[in-house]
Amino acid sequence: MSAPGAADRTEARRPTELTLVKAINAGLRAALERDRTVLVMGEDVGRLGGVFRVTDGLQKDFGEDRVVDTPLAESGLIGTAIGLALRGYRPICEIQFDGFVYPAFDQIVSQLAKMPYRSRGALRLPVVIRIPYGGGIGAVEHHSESPEAYFAHTAGLRVVTCATPEDGYWMVQQAVESDDPVVVLEPKRRYWESAPVDVTAAPVPLHRARVVRSGRLVTIVCYGPTVRTALDAAAAAGAEGIGVEVVDLRSLSPLDVATVEESVRRTGRLVVVHEAPVFLGLGAELAARVTERCFHDLEAPVLRVGGFHLPYPPARMEDAYLPDLDRVLDAVDRVLAF
């Protein structure tokens, strides 16, 4: 016979089905509960609960002094967060949409990223910047961009992106615990997709990539919103006997090239997929790194699938712009044809 309460404890250990929105909300709640120096700041994050309701209920439970509605001024938001971090706080800033981050770009790349280095480490800036990014929701102009390369190119910033609710839950907490500034990119087209989240399991280290599907002929490296696309393509290829391995990069700066390298040595072929334009995107860096390190293991050139080198199109045309199942499968076919 089970001891009294054993069933309840088993139930508590069971993974909970959560959407990405709910998982990030739970991660923010856990960070706020654990450390009183953690603050959530942003436009409409309090009473409204955020445009996507990621911060829903937090102001009610933690108060207006810890979940702060800020003016419509992204530069002021990040500048204030820098000042708070210098005074010992750990601010979490929400940018409403990817295209709204540019007014704060100077604060991020000129101050936030560089101040710890300029002070030889005497000053730490544990600031988290959450940015919903990417397309696929039929939004208007400036609401569907993928600015990750700007931030990954900036020394002094850590840049990560979640693809699953479980990563969303843990990543935001790991970012808060970092003494370095962290940009957390959240794929808005995946906000309402759900999956089990085990809050008792040990999280994957923040800057480690993860093999999410095994295969022996082609490696697809992806991140954020394209992980689901790549998994769908791998499943379709698998139905035809083509083994495709899928690696979720997770961290864009620093890059876990070692995990990618191990996969490519197994398969001999690499396709990199991201929503951002292919031109000077993360795929270019990965292609160069893998070519340098795995030259004699590659059976074909590294191929890239991504957005086109033009401003993000109107909503009615975004399906033609974004990497989809057919474009990824076409790259798999081409890399196998060499």
Please tell me the predicted confidence (pLDDT) of residue 2.
43
Q: What would the two tokens of residue 255 be?
A: 């890059």
Nearest CA among 118, 124, 43 for reference residue 78: 43
∠ CA 173-42-56, rounded to 5°: 65
What's the whole-number average pLDDT of the chain?
95
| CATH architecture assigned to 16-197 | 3-Layer(aba) Sandwich (3.40)
pLDDT of residue 296: 96
Told to judge if 143 belongs to the known catalytic residues of this protein, a careful annotator would answer yes
Range with lowest mean pLDDT among 2-16, 120-134, 278-292: 2-16
User: In the chain, which residues fall in CATH 3.40.50.970?
Assistant: 16-197
Residue 83, token pair as written in the block? 């000042």
Question: Percentage of residues in the chain with pLDDT exceeding 70?
Answer: 96
pLDDT of residue 192: 97
Residue 7 has pLDDT above 70, yes or no: no
User: Which residue of the set 142, 143, 274, 309 is catalytic?
Assistant: 143
**DSSP 3-state of 323:** coil
Per-residue pLDDT tens digits for 210-219: 999 999 999 9
pLDDT at residue 177 tops 50: yes
pLDDT tens column, 89-114: 999 999 999 999 999 999 999 999 99
* pLDDT at site 15: 87
- Closest-CA residue to 97 (of 56, 143, 54): 143
Tokens matching residue 215? 């295969």
Which class for 187: exposed (0-12), middle (13-18), buried (19 or more C-beta within 10 A)? buried
Question: Token pair of 105, please?
Answer: 């770009």
Predicted pLDDT at 14: 78
Is the domain defined by 210-337 classed in CATH 3.40.50.2020? no
> CATH 3.40.50.920 occupies which residues in the chain?
210-337
Tell me: pLDDT of 51 over 60. Answer: yes
